Structure 1
Amino acid sequence: MSYVDGYVLPVPKSNIEKYREIATKAGKIWREHGALEYRECVADDVKSGEVTSFPQAVKLKDDETVIFSYIVFESRQHRDEVNAKVMSDPRLNDMMDPKSMPFDGKRMFWGGFSPIVEL
């Protein structure tokens, strides 16, 4: 079974193109270091819920949208190896500075997941 890292974050609508640019660069780096898939998805049909939802989870503001991202790896071990290479890749340095990020990283959340169904 594969392994998946998932991310959810708020991005100001005015920064979508800037976010797309850095996500494209980052995705190429992840793929170069071995990730099987790299996807960045912008909310299209995401509503606030009564109890919980993507907008509520990131404390979405009126001028923002939700990004849902995931990266697929061969296994948890493969993910750890790939991420170690990615995090030491100097091409990411300028993208990792919180002051230059086109979103509020404090409202981003992520985690690693072991699939229970793969079709």
Structure 2
Amino acid sequence: MTYIDCYLAPVPRANKAVYEKMAAASAEVTRAHGALRVTECWLDESGPDASTYHGESARRDADQYTSFIEAAGAKEGEAVVMSWVEWPDKAARDIGMAKMTSDPRMQFEGQVPVFDGSRLIAGGFLPMISL
């Protein structure tokens, strides 16, 4: 069964183009080490509010929902990026991540940080339904 790594990170809006370039390069390396799919998403801040994802009988006021901005801890001037990597299975993920994180193309020391990696939220997920 596939395995999914998910990420949520606040990124300065001013760094969007640089983040996208870094993400594309990282995705290439991740795919080279076994990932089936890499998806990077920039939050549509003008998009629908959380109440629109609920039926009318369960709907609350928009301010009663937690947002991705709050969940990611985004500050003034920051947007939210949600990403996921699909792996063939957890074993392939563990092998691929070990290779990816030691790959020289993924070493960003000495470069100006695109975002604060210590604020990255990450977790591994086992799919329940995939249509």
Equivalenced residue count is 117
Aligned to 2:117: 105
* 2:49 paired with 1:50: no
* 2:32 paired with 1:20: no
Larger-Rg structure: 2
Aligned to 1:38: 38
Displacement of 1:62 after TM fit? 2.5
Displacement of 1:64 after TM fit? 1.1
- Contact in 2 for aligned 1:42/1:65 (Cα 8 Å): yes
> What is the root-mean-square deviation of aligned Cα atoms in Å?
1.9
Assess, with a 3 A threshold, how the Cα gap between structure 1 residues 37 and 43 changes in structure 2: closer, same or farther: same
2:127 corresponds to which of 95, 115, 119: 115
Displacement of 1:99 after TM fit? 6.6
* 2:58 paired with 1:64: no
Residue type at the aligned position of 1:60: A
2:102 corresponds to which of 85, 88, 91: 88
Residue type at the aligned position of 1:3: Y
Structure 2 unaligned spans of 5+? 50-61
Distance, in Å, in 1 between the alignment partners of 2:64 and 2:84 is: 26
Assess, with a 3 A threshold, how the Cα gap between structure 1 residues 49 and 78 changes in structure 2: closer, same or farther: farther
Q: TM-score, normalised by structure 2?
A: 0.81
Percent sequence identity over matched residues?
37
Q: TM-score, normalised by structure 1?
A: 0.89
